[in-house]
Chains A and B, each alone.
Chain A
């Protein structure tokens, strides 16, 4: 210490909650968000430990047990090949979550990069990128995904790419708008005044400050990615049999819906609950990340 110290703040000893702790604390106050979080955690658990918790194989056919109603042996019944529906749903969670998170990851990476560059530099770069995004936005997202997957061919990876690319414009727009709002702030000018290169300013100063809307959009985006993937699988452009995908299971059970509704009921419920949970979680996160937004 030296002569320059005239007054030191007295708040040094105070216990402070971390930012993450603060958000989790607020999130806990919303029962719907907690329900959403619980469902998502259960799904992640199912996906990770599918091999251990699934009571049966997802692909082993047992033609003497076709179309069985729920029983103690087959908790949710069996499908047209005598496969256990519960096991198939558990394995299906793996695909759905994978598609949801990786597709959003792709969309976020590509869209985030384009949005950040466009928002930071402005001018003709911004104009060029955003007009391309506008063109993509003018094509319905599902149709765009169908076109991409039809061009690439079916399969898990192509499905994720198609769903991801079709969501890019949404992320580009959100990231661009948050970059625009942060870019004008004085600490960005201060960062330039200490000689930070542009890339560092974008990655270290702008993006961390615009995380809140991006996190919220991503959570909601996982839900729509899962729904999109299920839709593509339903029309046969997604996951190929025998691997269980919820949308493909719906599609497979469709022709038996009159006599054996449980073939379509359970995958449908699985999709619905997952989407609902992710949306609850997204809404909860939005409120928790932005305490000023009171309703």
Chain B
């Protein structure tokens, strides 16, 4: 996985994050490698517990410590390792350069502050402006996401879920961040509103030239919004590539299983195919490839060696030597 270093906004190398608890160590992220170019949108897909959110929290250094521990690796953002920054520098990066959108807009706004003040707070923290200027910029930002002026002084409980998520988006984009991390931004919204919010995010992303990491478990959303897709399983990236080539030609057995478990409107079928077995216990990951106990292609070597990423098409990588060999690439 190599790209011209100057085009890279984010370059995660061998990131390992554990949660150390009394009952054992949770291997949330294991040797993760990930790249994101400027202006690109990356979809991070995986089941609950695959390490998607932990990765996001690692990038912003918002991991709950303890129990979270970064065991190793580098997170190069704009060429600088965020893991080496002190808390003061991190505060100016958070919100100013890397902004986050959380899953549930119902709870991610302060219930006792009017929405314009919440947007203004972000602006005041990162720009040297007066209170009234900040409020004015907040009003413009809220206008941009489709919240009318007469509603600026309203409290979060007076808005619907979709409107609240618009406010959250306005807060995230208020300081023109380089990277936007959206952690399941539409999971809490109903389907029609989901489409609106995604459309809004897509437009604003283009307008501001922001890169985005979209964390989700909805393959449909990724297809609509992302340039690149990374599929995560048990803390590792198992497949990575352009959205088009990955969707046309999914190759890792786990990815194939995921696509098979999505119902197809065209086909008539009584039962969806499933991936046998369960996600492994993150405290006790299988040796070698973490997916091998559930994998129909598994060989004896799979339980011994940890697979590396193999390029099967230009820009399309899988972490499965067996499939790569079948394609004549290894």
Contact = CB atoms under 8 A, between A and B. Distances in A.
A254 interface: no
A6 B202 CA distance: 14
Contacts of A209: 110-112
Contacts of A185: 107
Contacts of A7: 146, 162, 196
Residue of B112, B126, B151, B162 ringed by the most chain A CB atoms within 10 A: B112
A4 B93 CA distance: 27
Interface stretch (A25-33, A58-66, A68-76, A192-200): A192-200
A204 B111 CA distance: 11
Nearest to A210: B112
A6 B199 contact: yes
B102 interface: yes
B203 A3 contact: yes
Interface string A196-208: 1100000011001
Interface in A151-169: none
Contact of A11 (B60, B102, B158): B158
A205 B110 CA distance: 7
Interface in B83-113: 90-96, 99-100, 102-104, 107-113
B148 A194 contact: no
Contact of A8 (B110, B148, B158, B204): B148
Q: Interface residues of B toward A: which range?
A: 35 or more
Interface string A1-33: 111111111011100100100000000000000
26 contacts: A1-B146, A4-B145, A4-B199, A4-B204, A6-B196, A6-B199, A8-B148, A9-B148, A12-B148, A13-B150, A186-B102, A187-B109, A187-B111, A190-B100, A190-B109, A190-B168, A193-B94, A195-B126, A196-B91, A196-B121, A204-B113, A205-B113, A208-B112, A208-B113, A209-B111, A209-B112
Contacts of A1: 143, 146
Interface string B148-160: 1011001000111
B203 A4 contact: yes
Interface residues of A, number: 30
Contact of A9 (B94, B104, B113, B163): B163
A282 B148 CA distance: 40
Contacts of B154: 16
User: What's the dominant secondary structure at chain A's contact region?
Assistant: loop
A199 B83 CA distance: 23
Interface in A205-246: 205, 208-209
Given A4-B200, A189-B62, A9 B159 contact: yes
Given A11-B158, A186-B104, A187-B110, A4 B144 contact: yes
B151 A12 contact: yes
A193 B99 CA distance: 7
B125 interface: yes
A195 B158 contact: no
Given A4-B200, A192-B62, A193-B100, A186 B151 contact: no
Contacts of B204: 4
Of the listed residues A13, A195, A197, A205, the one surrounded by the most CB atoms of chain B closer than 10 A to its CB is A195
B147 to A, nearest CB: 8
A190 B185 CA distance: 13
B318 interface: no
A8 B125 contact: no
Interface in A164-196: 185-187, 189-196
A185 to B, nearest CB: 6
Given A1-B143, A9-B160, A195 B92 contact: yes
